[in-house]
Structure 1
Amino acid sequence: MNDQDRVAIHEVMEQQTVTIAKAGIHASLNARCSVVAAANPIYGTYDRSLTPTKNIGLPDSLLSRFDLLFIVLDQMDADIDRQISDHVLRMHRFRSVIDGGEGGLDGNSRYGREDETDTDSVFVKYNRMLHGKKVQRGQKRDTLTIKFLKKYIHYAKHRIQPELIDEASEYIATSYAELRNNNSNAKTGGTLPITARTLETIIRLSTAHAKLKLSRKVPTLCH
């Protein structure tokens, strides 16, 4: 990431605005959205001997603005590799089913699209060509429909406004203090610096957890 892009993303994540200067026009637009970033390690492959911060290669001032940081390692596992290859092959073999072409199973069916007679379906109907073999009993692998997910997210976002009760506030404050203490005692200084932004991160994640459960109050065990 060059310096210009770094300055731009700083403004977006800190002030929730983006400034555009083009053709003599200067405008400042609202950027109230979630930012999802994905990148490869700085050396192409993840070096386990280095800290995550050095592998990522971004300054702490920028990394601290992200609420969550996931490290995905490319581990060699025959079973996982076989599952991935089977899924990719099914997507290529039965592309007509996904795109709704004439070569589909029933001529006009689409993967993830509900039938007109079943608009309130929660789970996608099982299709062996797309979903592969059925799992063993007791191991459910149900896929939620896109329409249901949109309804659920819209309802949770606009109808549920969780309240931060006293017990949850006390628990968050204690957890933040423990994180600060553990980070200062760590030999390597921790993965990321624990600042006031981390406290705001815990509050946002706790509120999102309550919305996910359609709860009007933030639970005490918000972690």
Structure 2
Amino acid sequence: MSTAGPGEPTATPANATASNWNIANALTVLRIALVPVFGWLLLADGGHEAPLRWWAAVVFVLAMATDRLDGQLARSRNLITDFGKLADPIADKALTGMAFIGLSIVGDLWWWVTVLVLVREIGVTLLRFVVIRHGVMPASRGGKLKTVLQAVALTMFLVPLGGWWAALAIAAMAAAVLVTVVTGVDYVLAARRLVAAPSRTPDSDAHGTAGPR
């Protein structure tokens, strides 16, 4: 029985299913919509106009900031949805993917780095869809760390500065690439566990008699 008085809002049950139409998902969609804007600013005039590069960096940072904000809103307001679990990492990959490709196109980042990162990102995204009938694989803590490191490294590469700044950017990118590869392997192992989980039945857990081993 609700204890709310007449005209007072009642609390949403903790186990209620959140609607996909919520502010957290809207921010995720906004991040996706900013990808072409960012891409144009990065590639315009060959990518070497300092004012446009600064604007590209600003748009990139603002777009990445929505990643943290939508996650906080989803958790604090019980707005976590399957759409959000899938769309959030896809939005991250679209934005960072555009940054990697754009920086390689303008000659500021080695193509082998971009190819390695994109193979990992596309592979993990496809893996999510392959195993979705077994369950949704949300972004892990390692995956979030990877996103943060990539965001920092890419921002440093986007800012049109040289000298010691460029050296720091290379070091940051090296760390980001390492974590990207390691977490990619972790997602593959997580997918294997997710696929294997339904084969375990209560009877087999309790008695170990589900069949031959």
TM superposition score category, shorter chain reference: under 0.3
Bigger strand share: 1
Q: Normalized against structure 2, the TM-score is what?
A: 0.26
* Higher relative contact order, structure no. (Cα contacts within 8 Å, ≥ 6 residues apart): 2
Higher helix share: 2
The alignment's TM-score, normalised by the length of structure 1, stands at 0.25
